[in-house]
Amino acid sequence: MTPKRQSYRNLKPLHEARDIFLTRFRNLALQAETVPVRRALGRMSVSAVKAARSVPAYHAAAVDGVAVRAASTFAAFPETPVLLPVGTEAIPVNTGQPLPEGADAVVMIEKVEMTDAGCEVREAVYPWQHVRKMGEDIVRGEIILPAHHRIRAFDQGALMAAGVMEISVSRKPRVLIIPTGSEVVPPEEVTDPIRPGLVLEVNGQVLQSMAEECGAECTLARPVPDRPEEIRDAVLAGIGGNYDIVLIIAGSSAGSKDYTPAVLRESGELLVHGVTVMPGKPTLLAAVADRPVVGIPGYPVSAAVSFREFVRPLLFQVQGLEPPETREVEVCIGRKLPSKPGLEEHVRVILGRIGPRIVAIPLTGGAGMLTSLVRADGILRIPPETSGYSEGEKARVELLTSPGELEHRLLTLGSHDLTIDLLASTLKERSEGRVTISSGNVGSMGGLLAVEKGIAHFAGSHLLDTETGDYNRSYLGRFIKSTPVTLVTLVHRWQGLMLPKGNPKGIRGMTDLTRPDLRIVNRQAGSGTRILLDYELGREGIDPAGIQGYADEEYTHMSVAMAITSGRADAGLGIMAAALALDLDFIPVTRERYDLVIPTPLMKDQRIVLVLEIIRSPGFQEQVLSLGGYEVEETGRIQASMP
């Protein structure tokens, strides 16, 4: 097969593609299998199940007391008890014990008194009172469970009590996952440093776990090279191996080495090639020998979207199950969110309840950002007929977390710092998982604006006043007009030039950044680090336009450090802790104060109280110092309170 660039044929809207796919396999049936009842939890019964024995299997006492013939107690009253001989007409029994022959009722132990003369019964009972009659719960031969019933824990108990030890259930769907790509390698087979060009195969594990959450049995195959004949052989072997569904990871797009569409077109029926959803556009839906085959995009987020929209509903459909109900909440969009009309965009968001509303902040990063799924609290679907959402607009978000968690979630926006991540981890540990932090890196100015707009519980800021040398105070009055705030120091930290290990280009300071053989990586406009860089360049009389890479921006210190580690840049301004974390050289430039900007009314909120308690604790401060490049002599100190 000659490699050639392909094109998407008739992109389908998401709902239409899903309908085509699910309708095509509506009659895909799974064979029945017999399993022990003990292992049948969550499985679907194939046919009605009848009781093999009655429950109870005998008349039994329902209370502790004495077994009697009811007629012998009819004259009993508290003032005039009936005296019955013990062992013949009044037989002591405990709850659950068989009813003695001849007895047809039980008198509660509280209504009798044992004497030397016999048993005094002080309350009459009627026939079969306080008795669990044989078959009262289940009668042998009656239907316990109907056909097509999902077995629950209580069902297991009822089945076993009724003498049913095995049950016929629908077989679990068998899924084969085939990663493709000549450069794809299982993580277990890779050692550091990773050779450039290798791709760690982790999508397969994610998809396998997602499928198993839907009740499937999965096999993750070894990666198949980018050779069409080998891809074809792997698919046909899976179909011949009695797999119900085959997933092919990567190779479903329209590039010159994307062979999957052609392979499936030749091997079966190509139902859909390309869906109007982002991420997830390259999804491929096909049928081979009347079995569903899904081409899953290679980017992690795209793969997750493709699975959720097509594979997940199919897995529930073939098991005869309704998918779990999606939990949604109404949110307020915290930041303008443009979208391309014609595509249904699925945006990962972090969420937090602030006052009466839940605020949604979009996470940055494309379809390859696996961590955006790790951090996301929900998925915002932007309809294809719109061009996005405006700030403050209301929308519905599909939850990836429980609604209860949002009530205890703290939402922080602003400047990135490693100690915020440490604080989030410590807070979750101290609160036993009850209180959590979701953070977004929007720069110091963005954080102040978020506090002013009421879309963050607090912000991290390190804005230098170039006239006074102070940090943050003067900016509060400029950016926060209507919200009283309290400024609390988190840390002092060292900012400087991060350089490749060994400083191979001999960089000594800011003036070297204008050299034609150097390229820097910068922080985004509005960040405190960007302001600091511009200030230092101004002190040296350096025009930023003369620096290569000045417009190349990243949103975190670790991203700047990684750009230098990877060789994409020769230098970048950032914190010492980030340089130490990636074993970079570091030239100190300045010591700065990094503060938390907290709305004053929230200072009494128990979550914020716990945050302040943590940052003031010796244990937390010791962990901060261990990161390197930090000082904690003012950590937890209130620097200002602005009305």
Q: Does residue 294 surpass a pLDDT of 70?
A: yes
**Within-domain flag for 501:** yes
Q: Predicted confidence band at 253 (pLDDT cuts at 50, 70, 90)?
A: low
Shared domain check, 234 and 114 = no
Whether 298 maps to a domain, the answer reads yes
Residue 21 maps to a domain? yes
Confidence band for 409, pLDDT divided at 50, 70 and 90: very high
Q: Are residues 445 and 570 in the same domain?
A: yes
What is the arithmetic mean of pLDDT over 13-20? Answer: 95
In this prediction, residue 387 carries a pLDDT of 86
pTM, two decimal places: 0.81
Residues 470, 559: one domain? yes
pLDDT above 50: residue 5: no
- CA separation (Å) from 431 to 398, 457, 591, 605? 26, 18, 32, 14
Q: Is a pLDDT exceeding 70 seen at residue 362?
A: yes
Same domain, 468 and 508: yes
For residue 9, the model assigns a pLDDT of 56
The whole-number pLDDT of residue 339 equals 86
In this structure, the answer to whether residues 162 and 177 fall within a common structural domain is no
The predicted pLDDT at position 252 comes to: 64
296, 184 Cβ separation under 8 angstroms: no
* pLDDT value at 632 more than 80: yes
Please write the tens of the pLDDT for every residue from 473-493: 999 988 999 999 999 999 999
Task: Supply the DSSP symbol for 389.
Answer: E
Q: How does strand 388-389 pair with strand 409-414?
A: unpaired
CATH of the domain at 45: 3.90.105.10
Mean pLDDT of 490-505: 96
DSSP 608: H
Residue-level pLDDT at 369: 66
Closest CA to 354 of 409, 428, 431, 418: 409
Q: Is the pLDDT of residue 367 over 60?
A: no
Bond before 193 cis per omega within 30 degrees = yes
Mean pLDDT of 274-291: 93
Indicate which CATH number applies to the domain containing 479: 3.40.190.290
Q: Residue 298: pLDDT above 60?
A: yes
Query: Does the pLDDT at position 365 exceed 80?
Result: no
* pLDDT at residue 182 in the model: 87
**621 pLDDT band (50/70/90 cuts)?**
very high
pLDDT tens digits, residue range 424-460? 999 999 999 999 999 888 889 999 999 999 999 999 9
Q: What percent of the chain clears pLDDT 70, i.e. is strictly above it?
A: 97
- 227 in any annotated domain: yes
Per-residue pLDDT, 366: 60
For 516-534, how does the pLDDT look when each residue is reduced to its tens digit (9 = 90+)? 999 999 999 888 999 999 9
**4 or 394: whose pLDDT is higher?**
394
Supply the DSSP symbol for 198: -
Average pLDDT, the chain: 91
For residue 274, being part of any structural domain is answered with: yes
Statement to judge: residues 481 and 577 lie in one domain: yes
Residue 2 confidence class, pLDDT cut points 50, 70, 90: very low
pLDDT band at 325 (very low <50, low <70, confident <90, very high): confident
- Cβ atoms of 427 and 435 within 8 Å: the answer is yes
Residue 85's pLDDT is what?
95
CATH number at residue 77: 2.170.190.11
pLDDT tens for each residue of 194-225: 887 888 889 999 999 999 999 999 999 999 99
What's the CATH number where 367 sits?
Answer: 2.40.340.10
The 10 Å CB-count burial string (b at 16+, else e) for 203-224 is: bbebbbebbeebbbebebbebb
DSSP label of 187: G
E-assigned strands of 48-205? Answer: 49-50, 60-61, 65-68, 82-84, 91-93, 105-108, 112-115, 118-121, 131-132, 143-145, 166-170, 174-179, 184-185, 199-200
Domain shared by 222 and 351, yes or no: no
Q: Do 427 and 542 reside in the same domain of the chain?
A: yes
Host domain of residue 446: 422-642
Q: Are residues 450 and 397 in the same domain?
A: no
Reply yes or no on whether the pLDDT at 502 is more than 50.
yes
- 505 falls within a domain: yes
Give me the amino acid identity at 317: Q
Over residues 93-114, the mean pLDDT reads 95
- Sign (positive or negative) of CA dihedral 444, 447, 451, 456: negative
Residues 263, 227: Cα–Cα separation, whole Å:
10
Are both 485 and 515 inside the same structural domain?
yes
Whether residues 561 and 608 fall in one domain: yes
pLDDT tens digit string along 542-556? 999 999 999 999 989
Q: For residue 121, is pLDDT > 60?
A: yes
Of the pLDDT bands very low, low, confident and very high (cuts 50, 70, 90), residue 131 is very high
pLDDT reported for residue 80? 93
Q: Does residue 338 sit within a domain?
A: yes
pLDDT of residue 4: 45
Give yes or no for residue 3 having a pLDDT over 50: no
Predicted confidence at residue 205, as pLDDT, reads 94
Total H helices, total E strands in the chain: 17, 38
pLDDT of residue 364: 74
Q: Is there a domain that residue 537 lies in?
A: yes
Tell me, yes or no, whether 429 and 565 share the same domain: yes
C-alpha count within 13 angstroms, C-beta hemisphere, residue 75: 7
Show which of 290, 318, 346 is a domain's final residue: 318
Size of the chain in residues: 643
Query: What's the domain count of the chain?
Result: 5
Would you state the pLDDT for residue 552? 95
For residue 265, give the CATH number of its domain. 3.40.980.10
